Amino acid sequence: MSFPHFPGPRYNIDTSNCAEFLNALFENARKLSLLPMLDVVIDKMAEWFNRQMKDAAAGLSTRKLVPFVENKIHKRVPKGQKLIVTPLNTFELEYSVIGKDGKTYIVDLHQKKCSCRKFDIDRYPCALSIGADVKCLKHDRPLELSDMYDIISPNYLTKVWALAYRRTIYLVPHMSEWMVPKDIAEQCPLPPEYTKKGKNSGKKVSFGWRTWAPYQ
């Protein structure tokens, strides 16, 4: 079986193990029948959305980045300011930066890339990119860059974070309270009946949620 290639970022904060995480989280719920399992999933989603909404609204109004990225940038700025930066092409915003390991790296602020690959993958600047950005803002002052936030993915902005969780996840009411339009109910197909083999052979069983009955 072949699986489609996912070209998007799937590393670090943009994690790729969400399926494994959810499988472990709902390990017990997956043993339930369909509707009770969905109730557990929706309940957890409602809990997450509510918590994320409160976290996004908390904190200082001047905070522009989500806490994880803001803390990373705060730690990297002092390191980046000490690095040796050489302009290569100020029109294309390309810079050569000597890292703490003594190696030379190429930073492209226009393309938001660094040869160390951290900037490319995380979408927020590494210490090398921060060094180049400080040099750029101090001496070159390009029109497309007004501050360091311009080279950070907008996905990490607090306003985008709050926007992602702005909706309320409502729990599904009891089945007795469902109001299913007649035309929709008539269109809901049921699973086909089949003849059970073995001890109760010859008996027809249907697993449709409207006609379910336990084995006799």
pTM to 2 decimals? 0.68
The answer as to whether 49 is a domain residue is: yes
Range of the domain at 80: 9-201
Q: Mean pLDDT over residues 124-139, rounded?
A: 93
Contacts of 123 (CB under 8 A, 6+ apart): 9, 14, 112, 152, 153, 155, 156
The answer as to whether 76 is a domain residue is: yes
| pLDDT tens digits along 94-116 | 999 999 999 999 999 999 999 99
CA distance 99 to 92: 21
pLDDT exceeds 50 at position 209:
no
Percentage, residues of the chain above pLDDT 70: 79
CA distance 171 to 205: 31
CA distance 50 to 42: 12
Report which DSSP code applies to 11.
S
Q: What is the pLDDT of residue 98?
A: 95
| pLDDT tens digits along 50-90 | 999 998 888 777 788 998 999 999 999 999 999 999 999 98
| pLDDT tens digits along 171-204 | 888 878 888 888 887 886 766 666 666 665 555 5
The answer as to whether 95 is a domain residue is: yes
The answer as to whether 2 is a domain residue is: no
The answer as to whether 207 is a domain residue is: no
Residue 126, phi then psi, degrees to nearest 5: -80, 180
The answer as to whether 50 is a domain residue is: yes
Question: How many domains is the chain built from?
Answer: 1
The answer as to whether 4 is a domain residue is: no
The answer as to whether 135 is a domain residue is: yes
